[in-house]
């Protein structure tokens, strides 16, 4: 039987607000990471403020529509990134956000492994019908990784993002429950 919280390269963890703030404050200062992960204006926030934000989130406790996770590598137990699932409870669909803050772990299959765990959680634990995500056109590495996990390109918002003087598209991808189940070859939790 598969482990719900353990993949081939990473495992899912719940980090304390202190640990999250300590890493997040570094990741936030990496412009390329910010450009790939977000479309907001880059911001510099103090470690204390970030910690307070995570503490507030922790105080709110369990919410069935929100499932945030942290991620550590299996070999060094290094905290490298995060993902979160946001569920529309009425329609049983989820949106995913994912990121690897530690650059040394880009392009090595860690993100793909994380996304596989994320989809496993979404389809076997949250029992959603589909998982959606959006990404920037200028992030082909992410696109390839999502395709490997079974996501299909479903659409695009043309000239959506203005970055470095150029407007680029936002791409929308999705994977359906049946498609994911088929990929598992009956090997389920």
Instruction: Show Cβ contacts of residue 130 under 8 Å, excluding neighbours closer than 6 positions.
Output: 93, 94, 174, 175, 176, 177
Q: Does 56 bind another protein (CB under 8 A)?
A: no
The one segment of 38-46, 103-111, 121-129, 167-175 that binds another protein by CB under 8 A: 121-129
Q: Does 189 bind another protein (CB under 8 A)?
A: no
Instruction: Please identify, using beta-carbon distances, which residue of 125 and 147 lies nearer to another protein.
Output: 125
Ranges within 57-116 binding another protein (CB under 8 A):
63-65, 87, 89-92
DSSP-derived letter for residue 188 is: -
H/E stretch holding 27 reads helix 17-28
- Of these, 36, 126, 143, 176, which contacts another protein (CB under 8 A)? 126
Q: Does 125 bind another protein (CB under 8 A)?
A: yes
Instruction: Show Cβ contacts of residue 77 under 8 Å, excluding neighbours closer than 6 positions.
Output: none
Question: How many CB atoms within 10 Å of residue 17?
Answer: 18
Contact residues: another protein, CB under 8 A = 63-65, 87, 89-92, 125-127
């Amino acid at each position: 039987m598969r482990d719900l919280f353990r993949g081939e390269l990473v495992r899912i963890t719940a980090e304390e607000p202190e640990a999250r703030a300590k890493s997040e404050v570094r990741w936030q200062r990496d412009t390329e990471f910010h450009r790939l992960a977000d479309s907001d204006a880059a911001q510099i926030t103090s470690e204390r403020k970030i910690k307070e934000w995570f503490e507030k989130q922790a105080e709110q406790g369990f919410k069935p529509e929100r499932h945030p996770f942290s991620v550590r590598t299996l070999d060094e137990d290094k905290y490298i990134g995060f993902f979160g699932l946001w569920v529309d409870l009425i329609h049983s669909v989820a949106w995913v956000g994912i990121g690897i803050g530690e650059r040394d772990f880009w392009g090595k299959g860690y993100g793909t492994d994380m996304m596989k765990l994320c989809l496993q959680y979404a389809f076997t634990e949250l029992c959603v019908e589909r998982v959606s995500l959006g990404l920037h056109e200028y992030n082909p590495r992410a696109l390839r990784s999502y395709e490997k996990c079974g996501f299909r390109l479903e659409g695009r918002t043309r000239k959506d993002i203005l970055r470095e003087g150029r407007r680029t598209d936002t791409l929308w991808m999705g994977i359906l429950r049946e498609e994911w189940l088929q990929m598992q070859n009956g090997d389920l939790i």
